[in-house]
A and B are shown apart, each in its own frame.
Chain A
Amino acid sequence: MTTILPILPELLLLALGILILTLDPFLKKDEARRPFLGWFTVASLLAALTVSLLLARPAGAALAFGGMIRFDWLGFLFKMFFLFAAAVTALLFMDADKLNRRAEAYFLLVAAALGMCLMASAADLVMLYLAIETTSIPLYILAGFLKTDDKSTESGFKYMLFGALTSAVLLYGFSLVYGFTGKTNLYELGLHFSNFNIVAIGVTFLILAGLAFKVSLFPFHFWAPDVYEGAPTPVAGFLSTASKAAGFAVLIRLFTAVFPVLNADWSLILAILATLTMTVGNLIALTQKSVKRMLAYSSIAHAGYAMIGVVAFSELGMASVVFYLIAYALTNLLAFGIVGIVGRAAGSDEFSAYNGLSRRSAGLGLAALVAFLSLAGMPPFVGFVSKFFVFAAAVQSGWVWLAIVGVLNSIVGLYYYLNVLKAVYLYRMENEDEDRHPVPVSRPAAIALVILVAGILLIGTLFGPWFGLATRAAAALF
């Protein structure tokens, strides 16, 4: 029993995926029973979350399965978070027209979550690469799931092409690492990269490029807006949050385990990358007319903020990255949830579709207020606390200028987030007849929004215990 504990969440996810596929034919006949699939997925994901929380907590940090994975708090925290994000996304799937009745969509979601769980705990290059592919391939398919929609097809195809290219680059880096050291375990590799040489530079560059794509860092961010815009909205939400968090989990594990000594030389490059990522993401977001595209650029900017914590490279820095990712994911899932609901009601993602939203549906307006203010980093929402910790970590490690750049960028972000809220609260619909255009919010979507709003407020105000968890996760790295 104890031997399977490290992969308990993955095993539960696998069982769930197979169950979904087996249940599907039995529900085919009766259209009325199709929503059962969604509820089943959500309930099972939450059950898996509870079971793992109760049974599979790691005691310390230990390698398991022949060194393939590391059973520690960092992996565990991320896994629990992926299960939660998948459950919320499944709720939002139930509200999306062409996804809600397809067992394949839920299966692919579960499979992607499984891959992410493995990514978060992988401690071997072989395992890591397989985990990344197990995450990416279902996501490629989900992004292009709406076959009759040209934009979705384009999104899936672009994502796959870019993803395949960067996977190849990443794999090339891995193969060089193996070639030079003869080892694949991350925790054995660290010893081989003890001095700074030309090989280490090349290898680090290749691996960094591969991972930068996954988290959409500056020179590798081009895919994000097109992919997010075309993908079904809940999928875009999942992509921009859980997938990004998984990429960061790998990034921080790799950089603390394999290249700790190189850090001094790389920090400046990473700091410049973080600056460019934030600035480029924010500046382009300013000019967007579609809220979905604006969120895509803002998600690039947020990867930059999270990167600040990585640059700080202290225990506080890593803890702040973990905390930031979870905070950002809660907020962005909420934002994409709202975009999905409005997009469905208005048939458009333009800013004008949000005019008078607070009068059309007060609850949705409030949720939008929480989501966008939290994205902008306003107290008492979680976006504020998470940014605060990231900047604090930067200052603590002596990166004062980087913290200042981050603060300035947050101000730019505030402008375009408030633009959405301006449409929601101050503008009216064309004929000022909001009463006659209610925005229907289905029950699953409402549940998802309430959970997310509650999460944002809860973690934003009582952040102590949550940050304690993040610190515990970060402590596993050093």
Chain B
Amino acid sequence: MDLTLILFIILAVTAIATALGLLISRNAVYAALFLVMNFACVAIFYLLLGAPFIAMAQVTVYAGAIMVLFLFVIMLLGAEKLPKGDVLPVQRPLAIGAAVILLAEAVILLVQRFQSTAMLQAPGTVENSMDSLREMSGLLFTEYLLPFEVTSILLLVAMVGAIVLTKQEKGTRG
């Protein structure tokens, strides 16, 4: 049993536990914090898989920016305590059915995977280093320059839109 496998098992258990905590928790703040933990675990998975850039992006974008925003919204709305929601009559059987199907899919895939060795090979050729990051930035500023710049226009539009839709106008409630 090597170190990676031990690390993986610990992380996997934590990831599943936090995901369950997110679902079960009745307090929105706890749920959000569970989600942060979950994101952190997934980020380390990416590191184990040899994708440092995605791991960093996961931490900064999801665990950092987006979850902070979530917490702010929850705080500002004062929606920490979720009310006991009404459960639709079909909801439970439907959920159980969907869960069974997904589980069956996962099991079938796993069995297939262990039967054929071809699928066990890791995708891609990039080694676990910062080379992939350099390669990606190179692509971003050569081949994908135009989409990259268009993204910034899109962000500008979104910003203008947010201001238009939220700014209070004179004489109105806004």
Contacts and interface: CB of A to CB of B under 8 A. Distances in A.
A108 interface: yes
Contacts of B153: 14, 111, 114, 134
B146 A127 contact: yes
B64 interface: no
A130 B164 contact: no
A147 B174 contact: yes
A100 to B, nearest CB: 15
A138 B169 CA distance: 20
Contact of A111 (B142, B157, B174): B157
A41 to B, nearest CB: 15
B161 interface: yes
Nearest to B172: A148
A328 interface: no
A86 to B, nearest CB: 15
A104 B150 contact: no
Given A66-B143, A141-B164, A145-B164, A131 B150 contact: yes
A137 B154 contact: yes
Contacts of B151: 130
A66 B142 contact: yes
A108 B144 CA distance: 25
Interface residues of B, number: 21
A69 B146 contact: yes
26 contacts: A7-B146, A65-B146, A66-B144, A68-B146, A68-B147, A104-B163, A108-B157, A108-B161, A111-B153, A111-B157, A114-B153, A118-B150, A126-B144, A127-B147, A130-B154, A131-B150, A134-B157, A137-B154, A138-B161, A140-B161, A141-B165, A144-B165, A145-B164, A147-B165, A147-B169, A148-B172
Chain A CB count within 10 A is highest, among B153, B158, B169, for B153
A21 interface: yes
Nearest to A64: B146
Interface of B: 142-147, 150-151, 153-154, 156-158, 160-161, 163-165, 169, 172, 174
A343 interface: no
A133 B161 contact: no
Given A104-B164, A108-B161, A126 B147 contact: yes
A134 B147 CA distance: 11
Nearest to A137: B157
A107 interface: yes
Contacts of A104: 160, 163-164
A455 interface: no
Contacts of A145: 164
Contacts of B160: 21, 104, 107-108, 111, 141
A104 B161 CA distance: 8
Given A147-B174, A148-B172, A137 B143 contact: no
Interface string A75-119: 000000000000000000000000000101001100100100010
Interface residues of A, number: 30
Interface in A1-54: 7, 14, 21
Contact of B150 (A67, A107, A134): A134
Contacts of A137: 154, 157-158, 161
Given A68-B143, A131-B150, 5 more contacts: A68-B146, A69-B146, A134-B153, A137-B157, A147-B174
B137 to A, nearest CB: 15
B101 to A, nearest CB: 18
B144 A68 contact: yes
Interface string A143-167: 0110110000000000000000000
B146 to A, nearest CB: 4
A148 to B, nearest CB: 5
A131 B142 CA distance: 18
Contacts of A68: 143-144, 146-147
Contacts of A127: 146-147, 150
Contacts of B145: 65-66
Contacts of B158: 137
B153 to A, nearest CB: 6
Contacts of B142: 66
Interface in A207-222: none
Contacts of A7: 146
Interface string A325-365: 00000000000000000000000000000000000000000
Contacts of B156: 111
A7 B153 CA distance: 14
Nearest to B154: A134
Contacts of B172: 147-148
A14 B156 CA distance: 11
A65 B149 CA distance: 12
A118 B146 CA distance: 10
A104 B162 CA distance: 11
B161 A141 contact: yes
Contacts of A66: 142-146
A144 B162 CA distance: 12
A135 to B, nearest CB: 10
A138 B146 CA distance: 19
Looking at B147, B158, B160, the one whose CB has the most chain A CB atoms below 10 A away is B147
A108 B160 CA distance: 8
Contacts of B150: 118, 127, 130-131, 134
B154 to A, nearest CB: 5
A245 B154 CA distance: 21
Contacts of A107: 160
Contacts of B165: 141, 144, 147
Contacts of B146: 7, 65-66, 68-69, 127
Contacts of A67: 143
A130 B146 CA distance: 10
A67 B142 CA distance: 11
A227 B25 CA distance: 38
Contacts of B147: 68, 124, 126-127, 130
